[in-house]
Structure 1
Amino acid sequence: MPSAHPYVAAVADPRAVRLLGDPPVPGAPEGQWWPPQALLPAWLDAHAAEFDLVHLHFGMESYSPEELGETVATLRRLKRPLVYTVHDLENPQLSSQEEHRAALAVLTAAAAELITLTDSADAEVRREYGRSTTVIPHPTLLASATSPVGTPHATTRVGVHLRDLRPNIDGVGTVATLVRAVADLRAEGARVEAVVRMNERVRDAEAAASIGLLAADADGVTIERGSRMDDDELERWLSDLDACLLPYRHGTQSGWAELCFDLAVPVIGTRVGHIAAQHPRDFHAFAVGDPIALARAITDATAPAWSTPGSPRRAEEVARRRADRSAERDAVRDAHLRVYRRALRTAAAA
């Protein structure tokens, strides 16, 4: 759960796994799955005959560690195993992580099986929570038959999308560093530009105003404000970039890094969590406050010929990765099915 999330659909083989729909949330708009009702003991009791196991991916921040303890106790009483994918060792929606770590302790101790996406995340789970995991990489989430390859342009374009300025996004620090890096590169004669995008509605209006002031008089830096992009719009926006800058101050893994990989857009980011381990050859590191490192990362990231939007090399690279990732998704689904079977055997033997 949640079944409406594209990641959940991507890892579940429809030939062998039936996903129950997300229960409606009282008072919420249609289609909203959070807070996930399927974690409530009353729902689990009422629908126990309809499911064999619970696989939790997202939405745990909706409940306290004590409430999650009641969830796992109910599953134990019903003899229904819990599988938990540890996507977030640090929760991107939260500033303070204390309650999140307490919730992780509850879930990692109770789960019949744990999954992580990278070897380094597995090592952290072992170190912090004393449990081993099954490492299964993040699959492609692209569903369409073709992918955009971008539009040619005369400059090297670096983009950063700050979205709604949620707690794990360092918008001010990232943009300040980017403005200085672009100025340095342009002073050296590089034809480089940066585009900074934010949603119209943000969580931190003061930070948004500061970002606007930082970019207002910056040569080669443009600010975009707009509504939240749908998947197709986001893919087109990313495909027009020579490199994508990730603005995270904390986090664990990144779906954006996966989407950029699928679209053959190199990633520049800080070394937070385990994002660099997802696709190491496509990841170029910098530190917020270090424009020299960011300028170097921009130069390195945009050096490969396939990084150029709209070029034949970009199109070839996107097609090659699409074929590889399609085969990988089949392997990812098989790996999840093996995890489910182990969890069910464990529950049957208990």
Structure 2
Amino acid sequence: MTEQLLPENVQTWAQAPLPTAPPEPTPAGRLTIASVPAGHPYVRGISGADDGVVRLRDPLPDPADPDRWWPPVVLDAAWITQNADVVDVVHVHFGAESLPPGRLAGALDALDAAGLPLVYTAHDLTNPQLADQAPHEADLDLLISRASAVITLTDGAADEIARRWDRTAVVIPHPAIVAEGATPPPGRATGAFTVGVHLRDIRPGIDAVGSVRTLLAGLTDLRAAGVAAAGRVVVNDRVRDSDALDAVAALLTDRPDCVLVRRPRVADPELEQEVADLDVALLPYRHGTHSGWVELCHDLGVPVVGPRVGYAHEQHPDEFTAFEPDDGVSLARAVLAALARGTRPGSGERAALVQRRALARVVQHRAIVRAHTDVYRTVVRRTGASA
């Protein structure tokens, strides 16, 4: 599950020269999609070999840094004008927050002038990367109001979009996180039930201190009820909020029932192993809308407990148990409910569950790909654009 750390100085990077070589021509009958960003795992999850679509690679703002796609070059009026003849649809997922002021509006004006449709997937109605939501809300006003089609991931988010912007969003669920055909880790059993929380880089949408405080209170209540439960707090060694990390470490002093794991950001296989080892995953969200973490836990057969933040609880409602923040008793009850319907790491039951879900994901993937292709063809017909 790939994390993205946005730069502090996007203004300087935004001045990088635009690529001069246009994309290669698209085979007849196929649509050319400029996804923002094209290299994101989510975009790979909605793509298929036979979907009738060609997705352009991300043009790089700095060729010397090939792993960085932001600020997105596609969302620049000059790039749009230069490539209007070879692009059928621009599909924005993430990255508008990294643009300098005025550039998004200019890009949308250029799309209108070129007659190119915009598809916007509203992943985040509240942006977990940001503390101040005002700039993100301004971006949403532009993107949702001016898009030819709006997609979102849950009915709850679609309802909010209808209330706030009077737009009808197409609901297409989040694709799998674990790659199709991969063999997920089975998890490793321990004696005690393990409740784990990944704080990652402690971005603004993560309530690190409150989540760990609630976890510790819940472990105390579980122990009082005779349940052998242990906590695991995992955090990257590079974080955005070092004060929060210090506070978490202080909370865990003299708590042998909960371990703090500080390690470098890991690759997907290692991250999947960490999650698969859990009996229950605790979501540490302060604010947000949807959750790729919920999808990863689904793929790995791990039940989730979390606060009712955004619409993550709608993604896999039968696998999500809500608790009240800063309420150890509420968390303990949620964990017990999750354990009652969950499976142990490393067990045959967990392995069978993961296999069933992987098979269901194959069917779901085909439906997700088809739904996106239908949206693309609909907006192209509506605007009169052609490949």
Same fold by TM-score greater than 0.5: yes
1:86-105 equivalence runs, <5 A:
86-105=122-141
Equivalent position SS for 2:56: coil
Alignment TM-score, normalising by the size of structure 1? 0.97
Q: CA deviation at 1:65?
A: 6.3
Classify 1:204/1:163 alpha carbon distance in 2 versus 1 (closer, same or farther; 3 Å): same
Structure 1 CA distance, aligned partners of 2:325 and 2:152?
27
Structure 1 portions without partners, runs of 5+: none
The letter for the 2-side match of 1:236 is Q
Structure 2 CA distance, aligned partners of 1:32 and 1:66?
21
Partner residue in 1 for 2:23: none
Do 2:72 and 2:99's aligned partners in 1 also have CA atoms closer than 8 Å? no
Structure 1 CA distance, aligned partners of 2:64 and 2:309?
34
State whether structure 2 residue 271 is matched by structure 1 residue 271: no
Structure 2 CA distance, aligned partners of 1:27 and 1:346?
36
Determine which of 311, 318, 332 is the counterpart of 1:295: 332
Q: CA deviation at 1:271?
A: 0.2
Q: CA deviation at 1:69?
A: 1.3
Q: Percent identity?
A: 45
Q: CA deviation at 1:133?
A: 0.7
Q: CA deviation at 1:73?
A: 0.6
Structure 2 CA distance, aligned partners of 1:220 and 1:141?
30
Do 2:45 and 2:176's aligned partners in 1 also have CA atoms closer than 8 Å? yes
State whether structure 2 residue 144 is matched by structure 1 residue 108: yes
Structure 2 CA distance, aligned partners of 1:103 and 1:66?
10
Partner residue in 1 for 2:224: 187
Do 2:305 and 2:338's aligned partners in 1 also have CA atoms closer than 8 Å? yes
State whether structure 2 residue 99 is matched by structure 1 residue 63: yes
Equivalent position SS for 1:216: coil
State whether structure 2 residue 381 is matched by structure 1 residue 345: yes
Structure 2 portions without partners, runs of 5+: 1-35
Q: CA RMSD in A?
A: 1.4
Displaced runs of 4 or more, over 6 A: none
Structure 2 CA distance, aligned partners of 1:155 and 1:204?
31
State whether structure 2 residue 366 is matched by structure 1 residue 330: yes
Partner residue in 2 for 1:132: 168
Partner residue in 2 for 1:13: 48
Do 1:171 and 1:211's aligned partners in 2 also have CA atoms closer than 8 Å? yes
Partner residue in 2 for 1:215: 252
Which has more helix, going by share of residues?
1
Do 1:118 and 1:274's aligned partners in 2 also have CA atoms closer than 8 Å? yes
Do 2:188 and 2:346's aligned partners in 1 also have CA atoms closer than 8 Å? yes
Alignment TM-score, normalising by the size of structure 2? 0.88
Q: Deviations over 1:20-74 (max 9, x none)?
A: 1111122762221111111111111122222111000011111256321111110
Partner residue in 2 for 1:315: 351
Structure 1 CA distance, aligned partners of 2:154 and 2:111?
28
Q: CA deviation at 1:349?
A: 7.8
